[in-house]
Chain A
């Protein structure tokens, strides 16, 4: 923008724009600060204290909560369960999601209806999803035991000690694979057709085209899906909470449930806060790690 003889006006406009811009950003920043960042900082403070909810004792203990945390068997088991849960559910979701997206990547009649149908599991409330599956998986009245009975399989206690972990992984895969499918489909559609045709003309087999052309071009989308799925699998609280409550025998006691227990069953606010921060740190470290590992050149 340049007006003859009106540089003063343009300058005024720029300054006023800048000032306006900051004042427009301010409300969002204030809300984020009050409701997310300040509480998070407060929980960092609590995590440095011996802070039982029901007693007046507030004793500064430095990083002792973190040290105790990493030595306590129940917490370590909870961490292992969480990592196993993240690994299995994300692995299944990525493999299934990429595979199904490849198969679905063509024009056909019912495309939009099918998109809508696979959207439902991931849009529905996790509490409702877990409630619904809890009814379906019920050992005595659940319809799943009836269906496997038709195949000649004995009824199983799906939410019992043997199957509970598999059940929370399966429900999470059911709920979140559509996310990966949709992401990969969007990525596939952004690949120019000419590139694939060119590879074909040059004599590449479909498999070579897939490995040499499609996968490298899809890498950013796969990376984003992986980061998002990992982030949300790590913090998954509602599904195991409603489906199993962390049991039986703590086999589905993911870190989110352990935080809730330390805070609201044992009233140990210091420990619960330390665990919360451990979760935050894990989330950040894993995301950074992914980006580092998978991008040889910047995205």
Chain B
């Protein structure tokens, strides 16, 4: 950055704006956290209780160690099983997308064979495909090949949905490395692949981590496909979060606990990845 940062006291308007912004973006999370720590009696209390004795019974309940009433959706969708599904699908799709797109991003950003522009165009264009438009054809295809309600049936489209974003982010990171970096390795007889693995990948490691974080968030959050493509065996956590019935109000604590547990990795990773956020969100079209 080529300007001198001027740290000075904020005026009234910016201070108020920031204050309101902070409140509106964090208070809903805080409220749900509080809800998840309340006993059933505190949850139905009116006016709502802002000060109460916290309890972990909601968390114990959804982890299968609680007593008393249990929200019906946890019988169909046991939290621990769905957590396992989500972790497997997320890990596999992030790993697959990063591996495939590191290769293609390297080729497209540094080797640049003929047709690079067209291939880039196709890859970015696939980002325009809405997941909901894939639901019907994948459902029909899976009925034929028997992938309905399987983890593999989620991993493949999740990987594909990640690839446009990861390829574009990684192309940006690879481009930022100095030119002709791998030439010395090539002349020493390393081969294109050797140069890529031994020279480029280690230098782009921070970029790989940032890209993986964004792919993780996409996969972790995805609701549309698992909602239609799974039944009882392979649903992921967002499916559980989507099963709300208002008459289950007393059990809001358990739903709140699900929301909190699903937010934990997001909070951790958001802090870690925020430096790369803008290039991640736009697939490298803007550097932030």
List residues of A whose CB falls within 8 A of some B CB: 1, 13, 16-18, 20-22, 24-25, 27-29, 31-32, 34-37, 39-40, 42-43, 46, 100, 103-104, 106-110, 112, 114-121, 123-128, 130-136, 138, 140-141, 143, 146, 174, 178-179, 182-183, 185-187, 189-190, 192-193, 220-221, 224, 228, 231, 234-235, 237-238, 241-242, 256, 259-260, 263-264, 269, 272-273, 276-277, 279-280, 283-284, 287
- Chain A residues with CB below 8 A from B287, complex form: 186, 190
On whether the beta carbons of B286 and A183 are closer than 8 Å, the reply is yes
- Residue in B25, B122, B258, B285 whose beta carbon sits within 8 Å of that of A117 in the complex: B25
A-B CB contacts (within 8 Å), total count = 312
On whether the beta carbons of B7 and A109 are closer than 8 Å, the reply is yes
List residues of B whose CB falls within 8 A of some A CB: 1-3, 5-8, 10, 13-14, 17-18, 21-22, 24-26, 28-29, 31-32, 35, 43-44, 46-48, 96, 99-101, 103-104, 106-108, 111-114, 119, 122-123, 126, 128-141, 156-157, 159-161, 163-164, 167, 180, 183, 186, 192-193, 196, 217, 220-221, 223-224, 227-228, 237-239, 241-242, 244, 246, 249, 252, 255-256, 258-259, 262-263, 266-267, 269-271, 274, 277-278, 281-282, 285-288
- For the complex, what is the distance from the CA of A190 to the CA of B13, rounded to whole Å? 24
- For the complex, what is the distance from the CA of A77 to the CA of B8, rounded to whole Å? 52
- Chain B residues with CB below 8 A from A135, complex form: 32, 35, 252, 255-256
| Contact A117 B26, CB 8 Å, known A20-B107, A21-B113, A43-B136 | yes
- Chain A residues with CB below 8 A from B282, complex form: 183, 224, 228
- Chain A residues with CB below 8 A from B24, complex form: 174
- For the complex, what is the distance from the CA of A231 to the CA of B156, rounded to whole Å? 23
**Closest residue of B by beta carbon distance from A299:** B285
- Residue in A138, A143, A146, A260 whose beta carbon sits within 8 Å of that of B135 in the complex: A260
On whether the beta carbons of A120 and B270 are closer than 8 Å, the reply is yes
Closest 7 CB pairs of A and B: A186-B288, A35-B160, A235-B130, A125-B221, A21-B113, A276-B133, A39-B137
| Contact A121 B259, CB 8 Å, known A36-B126, A104-B14, A259-B135 | no
- Chain A residues with CB below 8 A from B164, complex form: 32
- For the complex, what is the distance from the CA of A149 to the CA of B288, rounded to whole Å? 42
On whether the beta carbons of A186 and B286 are closer than 8 Å, the reply is yes
- Residue in A1, A42, A283 whose beta carbon sits within 8 Å of that of B130 in the complex: A283
Interface of chain A, main secondary structure: helix
On whether the beta carbons of A120 and B113 are closer than 8 Å, the reply is no
- For the complex, what is the distance from the CA of A193 to the CA of B140, rounded to whole Å? 56
On whether the beta carbons of B137 and A273 are closer than 8 Å, the reply is yes
On whether the beta carbons of A264 and B228 are closer than 8 Å, the reply is yes
On whether the beta carbons of A18 and B113 are closer than 8 Å, the reply is yes
Give chain B nearest CB distance to A233 CB in angstroms.
Answer: 11
On whether the beta carbons of B132 and A256 are closer than 8 Å, the reply is yes
- Chain A residues with CB below 8 A from B180, complex form: 1
- Residue in A34, A131, A133, A277 whose beta carbon sits within 8 Å of that of B255 in the complex: A131
On whether the beta carbons of A21 and B160 are closer than 8 Å, the reply is no
Give chain A nearest CB distance to B192 CB in angstroms.
Answer: 4
Query: What are 21 pairs between A and B in contact, CB < 8 Å?
Result: A1-B183, A20-B107, A20-B111, A28-B104, A31-B100, A39-B157, A46-B140, A103-B17, A126-B223, A132-B28, A174-B28, A178-B25, A179-B281, A186-B287, A235-B131, A237-B131, A238-B238, A256-B132, A259-B133, A260-B227, A273-B136
| Contact A192 B31, CB 8 Å, known A28-B163, A131-B242, A264-B228 | no
On whether the beta carbons of B259 and A128 are closer than 8 Å, the reply is yes
On whether the beta carbons of B238 and A27 are closer than 8 Å, the reply is no
- Chain A residues with CB below 8 A from B126, complex form: 32, 36-37
- Residue in A24, A25, A31, A116 whose beta carbon sits within 8 Å of that of B160 in the complex: A31
- For the complex, what is the distance from the CA of A148 to the CA of B52, rounded to whole Å? 22
- For the complex, what is the distance from the CA of A120 to the CA of B157, rounded to whole Å? 26
**Which of A46, A107, A124, A269 is packed against the most chain B CB atoms within 10 Å?**
A124
On whether the beta carbons of A123 and B217 are closer than 8 Å, the reply is yes
**Closest residue of A by beta carbon distance from B160:** A35
| Contact A272 B136, CB 8 Å, known A118-B25, A146-B48, A183-B281 | yes
